[in-house]
């Protein structure tokens, strides 16, 4: 079941990005930074919270609404039975004012033992999807999942599925037009 769910999410993300690129007739550099803080709930675990730093690289024109592509670095915590698992994700993204889709890799770590001397790590696939209205004042509703490639012995869940929200502000543009 986990394998089919992962394939389904990857194919949806790939279709959305491929459809965007199929309609490309011109690409222009569009360098920007967009930081935000997220808070949400991870099923079978608890509260999650973290930060996301999005780097826009280029703008795809002739696609309504105008879409940008780049990459995103996410660092967030998932509360799990009186401790927190740290997840760091690196995603390639496509976004506009109404949606955001990203796929990439992630790593999870958890310190444990006497004075936190031991650490367990696992790596896997990360998928992120968010939607909102065109206004910057409306909070985003997002869905992200992390599926470790190897068994993660500190957690009974084989994957992390999270719903989260955040407010996105106007990006900080590095190249003025």
The model's pLDDT over 94-150, given as tens digits with 9 standing for 90+, comes to: 998 889 999 999 998 888 888 888 888 889 999 999 999 887 788 999 999 998 887
List of domains in the chain: 2-173 (2.40.160.20)
pTM of the model: 0.77
Distances from the Cα of 24 to the Cα of 15, 27, 43, 53, 96, angstroms: 14, 7, 38, 26, 15
């Amino acid at each position: 079941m986990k394998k089919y769910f992962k394939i389904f999410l990857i194919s949806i993300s790939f279709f959305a990005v491929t459809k965007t690129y199929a309609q490309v007739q011109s690409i222009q550099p569009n360098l920007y930074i967009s930081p935000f803080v997220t808070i949400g709930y991870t099923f079978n675990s608890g509260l999650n919270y973290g930060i996301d730093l999005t780097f826009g690289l280029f703008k795809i024109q002739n696609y309504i609404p105008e879409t940008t592509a780049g990459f995103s670095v996410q660092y967030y915590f998932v509360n799990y039975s009186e401790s927190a698992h740290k997840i760091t994700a690196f995603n390639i993204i496509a976004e506009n004012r109404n949606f955001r889709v990203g796929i990439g890799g992630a790593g999870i770590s958890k310190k444990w033992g006497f004075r936190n001397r031991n650490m367990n790590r696992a790596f896997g696939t990360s998928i992120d999807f968010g939607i909102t209205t065109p206004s910057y004042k409306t909070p985003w509703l997002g869905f992200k999942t992390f599926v470790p490639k190897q068994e993660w012995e500190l957690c009974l869940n084989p994957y992390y599925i999270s719903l989260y929200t955040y407010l996105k502000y106007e990006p900080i543009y590095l190249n003025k037009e």
